[in-house]
């Protein structure tokens, strides 16, 4: 399977809760306000025609709409948010009857195939709560190269508080070259490369 990266984030707290309006509910969670399809079934059929539909469960590092079995002739769509399921504003730890997932949310792209050469994600920077294997590689590099200010708790694929603090300290020590915001964009990435960080 190809690697995918997020192009539009999902905001669970903004997901709609109106019963019978699953496509709209999911779309609102991605901050997409213009509808394209009349139902989840119509969106799934379009995804199959357009080549953005994938059978089975999505990868763990992305948030995407997932079409699931339903007794309704209009179908049903939920959101897979990096391993957590959301339906009509409610959180679930598992879901049965998964049919497949879509790179698009009601006609708007929310993920794309990741370039194998690119370290930075599609949005252009890494920030808190991003989850990806590239974050794990960054955390390992920071722990190995700068153990004085990189806790072992920073390790792993989630860009958490500990990694953010470590990156902010790295930025503070850059003699004014970098703003200490704790995120990794092009400038911080370039400076990390000066210290030996490589991807892949």
pLDDT tens for residues 37-56? 999 999 999 999 999 999 99
- Say yes or no to pLDDT of 69 above 90: yes
**Does residue 86 share a domain with residue 12?**
yes
In a domain, residue 76? The reply is yes
Strand, coil or helix: 98: strand
Residue 184 lies in a domain: yes
Average pLDDT over residues 161-179: 96
Confidence of residue 61 (pLDDT cuts 50, 70, 90): confident
Domain count, the chain: 2
Element at 140 (helix H, strand E): helix 133-145
Domain that includes residue 152, residue range: 133-194
Does 15 score more than 90 pLDDT?
Answer: yes
> Do 143 and 107 reside in the same domain of the chain?
no
pTM over 0.85: no
pLDDT above 70 (res 116): no
In this prediction, residue 186 carries a pLDDT of 92
4 or 179, which is more confident: 179
**Exposure class string for 120-159: b at 16+ Cβ within 10 A, else e:** bbbeeebbeebbbebbbbbbebbbeeeeeebeeebbebbb
Confidence at 2, pLDDT banded by 50, 70, 90: low
Determine, yes or no, domain membership for 118: no
Residue 185 lies in a domain: yes
């Amino acid at each position: 399977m190809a690697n995918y990266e997020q192009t539009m984030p999902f905001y669970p707290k903004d997901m709609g809760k109106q019963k019978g309006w699953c496509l709209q509910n999911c779309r609102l969670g991605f901050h997409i306000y213009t509808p394209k399809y009349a139902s989840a079934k119509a969106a799934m059929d379009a995804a199959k025609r357009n080549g953005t539909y994938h059978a089975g469960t999505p990868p763990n590092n992305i948030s995407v709409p997932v079409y699931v079995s339903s007794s309704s002739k209009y179908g049903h769509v939920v959101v897979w948010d990096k391993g957590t399921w959301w339906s009509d504003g409610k959180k679930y730890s598992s879901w049965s009857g998964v049919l497949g997932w879509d790179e698009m949310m009601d006609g708007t792209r929310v993920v794309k195939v990741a370039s194998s050469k690119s370290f930075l994600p599609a949005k252009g920077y890494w920030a808190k709560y991003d989850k990806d294997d590239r974050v794990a590689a960054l955390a390992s590099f920071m722990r190995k190269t700068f153990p004085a200010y990189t806790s072992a708790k920073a390790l792993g694929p989630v860009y958490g508080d500990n990694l953010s603090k470590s990156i902010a300290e790295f930025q503070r020590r850059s003699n004014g070259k970098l703003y200490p915001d704790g995120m990794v964009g092009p400038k911080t990435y370039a400076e990390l490369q000066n210290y030996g960080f490589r991807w892949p």
